[in-house]
Structure 1
Amino acid sequence: MARPGLLHGKPPSIDVRTRGLARNGSLHPPFCRRVFTIHNRKLAHVRILSIFGTRPEAIKMAPLVKCLEAEPGVQSLVCVTGQHQSMLQQVLDLFGITPDYNLAAMTANQSLNGLTSRLFAGLDDVLAEVAPDRVLVHGDTATSMVAAIAAFHRRIPVGHVEAGLRTGNMFEPWPEEMNRRVVDVVADQLFAPTASSQANLEAEALTGRVVVTGNTVIDALRLMCARLDSDDAMRARIDAQFPFLEPAGTGRPLLLVTGHRRESFGEGFQQICAALAALAQTGKMQIVYPVHLNPNVRGPVLATLGNAPNVHLTDPLDYPEFVRLMQRAAIVLTDSGGVQEEAPALGKPVLVMRDVTERPEALAAGTVKLIGTDRDAIYNAVLELAVDESARSAYARRVNPYGDGHASERIVASLVGKPFTPFGSHALPGYAHPVLAARPDAQ
């Protein structure tokens, strides 16, 4: 029985195939490793090990893990590395996921090379013990890069969820751009969230192994919004944690801020904080900033904004609390990749504090705007939206290009050889428009 959580799939009995699945879900014989066939509902299991370590990875992998748990013929195992230990556990508890392995690899003041070394040693032991038929990794973290290489060294096939994102600059974001390029080279199955990501992979001669799925973060968001919409007590409990916020529709617009990128450490965060302090002085908005635990972020934020009027600093939020704040927000200011995907699905304008983004689909759709980390650029862009409700409303009418909330189902179908329709071909029956409407009581 699948462990309890938000997602409960009911897949039919099917043949289970591993390796070499193309964009259309067909099997490439040169990559075929083994086929398991169901006879009278008896099935030899294919063992799939999902490896992740950060909170954003956990949010994006959780719906996929639940789909794998519910799939007949799949033995789903989970290894977490503890790259974000405390923040990671919040997500695991929410989705009812109990890891089979926890490396607890993060230590205080650990360098990237030190972390990488610990991850290689720990993951190699796990791979030797589990001997999975396939490893799944997500995105662009140190965990993903090391897990992919460690699996490759043991000749274990790798599937890369959220493959093909690119900025074209190896140092923006750093080290994520290099990490995801390495994983895409190593992986034999590439689950691209969009056609643009697919095109990036094809340009690098990685064609023939790509499936366009949509982004699993929209799966998680769909589930969380449904939970918030149906659970009045949960919504009231969360809202009670933010008594300082003015009532929706009657007060000043809410600016929700997230910022944590390594390339902004130092001068970048000083500029960001200076802009927020100036915006707070205008009195035209409420500002909520859940502050990352990294001291390179917390230091300048607390020093500049700790006593600023109209600024509410919080510790990192659990996923339901953060989604609820996104629902209530009028503007989102971020350097996060995931938030660039999530907030537009709620119809929120997103200002991105970066010079480049690996999510050009959002730029093309007009759901996000790049503004960099310059103090004046941030101040002007936020203030323009804060005082112009019609400009904010225009964002809500634009279509989020990142998914329909069913990417995980496509990935599992691809893994087990079940027919499916790639994301973007057409909407699947009964699926909602990709923009998720906030409740009427949301700001």
Structure 2
Amino acid sequence: MPISSLARSITGAGRRFPPPLARDPHAGCAKPDRNLPPDRTASVIHKPHILVVFGTRPEAIKMAPVVAALRARDGLDVSVAVTAQHRQLLDQVLAIFGIVPDVDLDLMQAGQSLDTLAARILTQFGATLDARRPDRILVHGDTLTSMVATLAAYFRQIPVGHVEAGLRSGNIYSPWPEEANRKVTGVIADLHFAPTPQAAAALRAENVPGAAIHVTGNTVIDALLAMRDRIAAQPALAAGLDPLAARFAGRRIVAVTSHRRENFGDGMAQVAAAIARIADRPDVGVIFPVHPNPAVRPVMEAALGSHPNVALIDPLDYPHFVRLMAMSVVMLTDSGGVQEEAPSLGKPVLVMRDTTERPEGVAAGTSQLVGTDPDTIVNRMFALLDDDAAYAAMAQAHNPYGDGQAAQRIARIVDDAHRR
């Protein structure tokens, strides 16, 4: 059975650099309002230009609150560039948050290698920097877009702010290539927005100056809480899941996401085998928005496509994914973002990885590492489903990742940095 078309119907180095070369104040930014009094026009012209760049769906979700918070500050000129290394998934988020990129490099190509994509980002985003000459760029997390955009800015002596800085797994190949991406970005950035005290400590251990590190919380919590409230006010935003809610009425829903490169191959086959065993329980319904990557989708279709208790669907837009998390009893995932989001909704997270750069959740009791061994995954899942005390201990644990105000803190710090 092919993947359901349900989703298709759903709408929707710690040192400060010298200042960048002078640029035309009108290039790549909003033109000054000629109707303003003369004494204010000059202040508009000289606003620091902050260029926010991202390329994937998770980055867009986490950077959308930052873009909004920056744009709410009168002293900054803010623009957005996207590489679109994940075209379809990115466009969903841009539409939901009402973000129209000022620059869209549209670099997604099926089957392109990491080095090919990196080279294209370096040259084309570099050309964007040459044309726009921002006073600073902001990047997020651990993607190839973030790392290569940081290099392009470094080559032009443009300062870099790193949102979600300091995450470390301690294993350069897990997650791969994300661990190296964020470490390279961290060497070059001069503003580090760490989501937790532990992430800040990791940066200090790498000799990043303390004055460059700011603990802000994680912006994904900002996005999640805002979207939860929007759905409550406008249920139609996530009504596309109504048929699945009806199909699995009376069952406990296990929501699954899996797309990590280090799990491709045997790991993905093991994950599929574990899901099938979990779905054999008559009291369980599995809903799995399947990533379009060809290393993921065919494996899951072959192993799970005909299972009556499994719904394989296309990737969901953000409102529907937030509703899916809220509907579920447990999240089974290899995603970093889900480890942060689900605890805010009181959902235990089983992480199908051997290491995590988000140890705060493990320490707090909101998540457990289960790897990709089917027996381990199944045993941990059944322990949660069958032991009310074990379930409550995870569901009620404190979420260490933020309070929903991270973007406001980041915007204030960026604004203050450019007033000095």
Q: TM-score, normalised by structure 1?
A: 0.84
More off after superposition, 408-417 vs 377-386: 377-386
Alignment length (residue pairs): 386
Residue in structure 2 matched with residue 8 of structure 1 by the alignment: none
Rounded Cα–Cα distance in structure 2 between residues aligned with 1:311 and 1:240: 16
SS in 1 for 2:244: coil
Deviations 1:396-438 (A, max 9, x none): 32110000001000001101118xxxxxxxxxxxxxxxxxxxx
Look up the match of 2:5: none
Counterpart of 1:149 in structure 2 is: 151
Say yes or no: does 1:223 pair with 2:223. no
* Residue 118 of structure 2 is aligned to residue 116 of structure 1: yes
Structure 1 runs (4+) deviating above 6 angstroms are none
Per the TM alignment, residue 252 of structure 1 is displaced from its structure 2 partner at its CA by: 1.9
CA distance in 2: counterparts of 1:336 and 1:310, whole angstroms: 23
Residue 237 of structure 2 contacts residue 320 of structure 2 at CA under 8 Å; is this kept in 1?
A: no
Shift of 1:40: 6.5
The answer (yes or no) to whether the contact 2:365–2:393 under 8 Å persists in 1 is no
- Whether the aligned pair in 1 keeps the contact of 2:279 and 2:285 (CA below 8 Å) is yes
The amino acid across from 1:62 in the alignment is: A
CA shift digits 1:223-269 (9 cap, x unpaired) = 1011112224435x23425254433xxx1211000000000000001
1:132 matched to which residue of 2? 134
**2:109 matched residue in structure 1:** 107
Q: How does 1:333-352 map to 2 (within 5 A)?
A: 333-352=332-351
Post-superposition offset of 1:66: 0.9
Answer 1 or 2: which has greater helix percent. 2
1:115 deviation in Å? 0.6
**Residue 307, structure 1, aligned to residue 306, structure 2:** yes
Work out whether residues 238 and 324 of structure 1, in 8 Å CA contact, stay in contact via their aligned partners in 2. no
Q: Would you say the 8 A contact 1:348–1:392 is kept in 2?
A: no
- Equivalence for 2:271: 272
Structure 2 unaligned residues grouped into runs of 5+ = 1-13, 21-38
Taking the aligned partners of 1:113 and 1:244, their CA distance within structure 2 comes to 45
Q: Which amino acid aligns with 1:274?
A: A
Rounded to whole Å, the distance in 1 between the matches of 2:296 and 2:17 is 45
Q: Deviations over 1:368-396 (max 9, x none)?
A: 00000001111111112122333222223
Matched-pair contact (CA < 8 Å) for 1:45–1:73: yes
Residue matched to 1:253: 252
Q: What one-letter code is carried by the residue in structure 1 that aligns with 2:218?
A: N
Gaps of 5+ in 1: 1-19, 21-27, 419-443
What one-letter code is carried by the residue in structure 2 that aligns with 1:65?
V
What is the match of residue 54 of structure 1? 56
Counterpart residue number, 1:380: 379
Using the alignment, how far apart are the partners of 1:78 and 1:333 within structure 2? 33
1:281 Cα shift? 1.7
Q: Is the 8 A contact 1:288 1:312 kept in 2?
A: yes
Say which SS state the counterpart of residue 169 (structure 2) adopts.
coil
Secondary structure in 2 matching 1:166: coil
Letter in 2 for 1:286: G
Contact 2:273 2:374 in 1 (8 A): yes
Q: Let me know the Cα RMSD of the aligned residues.
A: 2.0
Alignment-mate amino acid for residue 331 of structure 1: V
Q: Distance in 1 between matches of 2:71 and 2:95?
A: 16
- SS of aligned partner of 1:66: helix
**Preserved CA contact (<8 Å) 1:289 1:314:** yes
| Contact 1:120–1:147 (8 Å) recurs in 2 | yes
